[in-house]
Amino acid sequence: MEQANTAIAGEPESPLLAVRGITKRFGSFTANDNITLGLTPGEVHALLGENGAGKSTLVKMLYGLLAPTEGEILWQGASIKLPNPNAARALGIGMVFQHFSLFDNLTVAENIALVMPASDRLQDVPGKIDGISRAYGMGLEPNRPVWSLSAGERQRIEIARCLLQDPKVLILDEPTSVLTPQEAEKLFETLDRLKAEGRALLYISHHLEEVKRLCDRATILRLGKLVGTCDPRVETPRSLAALMVGSQIMEVRAAGAHTLGKDRLVVSDLDAPSPSLHGVSLKHVSLAVKGGEVFGIAGVAGNGQSELFANLSGESLARRPEAIVIDGSPVGALGISDRRALNAGFVPEERNGHAAAPDFTLSENIVLTGHGSDGLTRLGFINGAAAKDQSQKVIAAFDVRKSGADPLARTLSGGNLQKFVVGREILREPALLVINQPTWGVDALAAATIRQALLDLCARGAAVLIISQDLDELFEISDRIAVIHTGELSEALPARGTTREEIGLLMAGMPGGANVAGGSAHAP
């Protein structure tokens, strides 16, 4: 990429919100180092960087959740202090967080009323919601309970309660991470309207195609430092990713045409009641995954993905042993250790606390999943040397960056811990690997490393089943894609020849995509 493209767009003449020389230290660790940027009215400004680059720390200071160690925040040219989020909101700064902060058992109006001024009466809130809905095409129903809403509708609640405070600056953190393509497009239309009204938007996303579509400028952070600004509209996703990590991102490549093996995982008419009040019951789920195949499952969060993973892994048991078969053995009544003994591997969605014990060392976390089948224990005793050796192999193979020889899992960044828990399973050479959200919240470099490792495992004859909300990921590495919606699984469609729009319709519960490709979920 030419230096002219890393453009180093000048600072705006009249920023609405700006930071000058902002530094934030936590003890001896510097999370933000002398960062300067400005947001102008009518601008969508991207904030980009790999995991651990300092994005979250910076926006927390802009929203009053953290105080800077050095430097200053300026509002319309005047230096200000933001002791808390209330002070930020009073000025006109709103923030939509990546993870929803809604109460499922309350209505839309009740959730929004919680952040409204005490002087506002609850009975007036529905009228205000209707006004915002009409103005921005949100279609919110004030009296609907939140538990009954889709992820896209929940996202609109978060935005609506920000807009009811009439912000001049809106910060959005990964706003499309759980949306269907159609829901994302509706969000983009709303953001275009906000931009046209003269509001300033700070936009954080790992989805670089949407950054190109939405954003006028981008500021790139790397290891806590500002490395430049650019016009993302004249960049490519690869060049933006290279700016973020400091080097070109490897291109993920499948092994090419190869013969598929036998069915390694077969699920037949799996029914499973929800274990929680607002959970999702699985209904007549059937699928088959062959050796040498990557089978992708798409879906909006909360449609049965967690319940399906729990049943496939053995954390929850099926009603019938033959409902789940691994390499010819009925395992529906077997727990996770017995399924691992059949050379199956499993990586859950939540890496810290589920896939890994945060206060255990990396070598101890190796034992957690390998004790039953990897020779790491004998007669009830742990072979510490073997565990450390295996841990070092994972660290070397997956470029896991850490401090210390055998650190606690919680000291790793999210992307590095994800590489460790995925690598821990892949180095066991499982015949079947089931993985839930393999690259959730990781940067482009870590995502490419993980996706390539999954394709390489598949090329060696393993069956790989991926549950993911990232359609780019599924289309990049899957052979077939099915969609889970309200606990039901669609027919599997070939990734090649199927569009994002077709999968998006299925994710929204509309059958339009299923009729395009047809075919059985058991078709190769």
Average pLDDT over residues 135-145: 85
Cα–Cα dist 470/415, whole Å: 16
- Contact 178/212 with Cβ under 8 angstroms? no
**In 71-84, which positions are buried (b, 16+ CB within 10 angstroms) versus exposed (e)?**
bebebeeeeeebee
Q: What is the CA radius of gyration of the chain?
A: 24
- Contact 152/300 with Cβ under 8 angstroms? yes
- Contact 90/81 with Cβ under 8 angstroms? no
Tokens of 38: 């400005």
What integer pLDDT is reported at residue 62 of this predicted model? Answer: 96
Does 345 have pLDDT greater than 80? yes
What integer pLDDT is reported at residue 376 of this predicted model? Answer: 79
What integer pLDDT is reported at residue 523 of this predicted model? Answer: 36
Cα–Cα dist 268/330, whole Å: 11
Per-residue confidence band for 514, with pLDDT thresholds at 50, 70 and 90: very low
Tokens of 148: 């009954």
Residue 453: count other Cβ atoms within 10 Å of its Cβ: 20
Mean pLDDT for the chain overall: 87
DSSP run (H or E) holding 90 = helix 85-91
Beta bridge partners of 210: none
Does 23 have pLDDT greater than 80? yes
For 76-88, the pLDDT digits (tens) are: 999 999 999 989 9
Domains and CATH numbers, the chain: 263-517 (3.40.50.300)
Cα–Cα dist 264/431, whole Å: 7
For 52-107, the pLDDT digits (tens) are: 788 989 999 999 999 999 999 999 999 999 999 989 999 999 998 877 788 888 99
Cα–Cα dist 524/503, whole Å: 19
For 398-433, the pLDDT digits (tens) are: 888 887 889 999 888 777 889 999 999 999 999 999
- Contact 516/506 with Cβ under 8 angstroms? no
CA angle 167/187/219 to nearest 5° reads 65
Q: Which amino acid is at 439?
A: T
Q: For residue 160, what is the DSSP state? A: H
Angle between the N-to-C axes of helices 362-370 and 384-397, in degrees from 0 to 180, rounded to the nearest 10: 100
3-state secondary structure of 482: strand
DSSP 358-425: TTSBHHHHHHHHHTTTSS-EETTEE-HHHHHHHHHHHHHHTT---SSSS-BGGGS-HHHHHHHHHHHH
For 51, list phi and psi in degrees, rounded to 5. Answer: -55, 135
Q: For residue 14, what is the DSSP state? A: S
Does 435 have pLDDT greater than 50? yes
What integer pLDDT is reported at residue 512 of this predicted model? Answer: 56
Cα–Cα dist 311/332, whole Å: 8
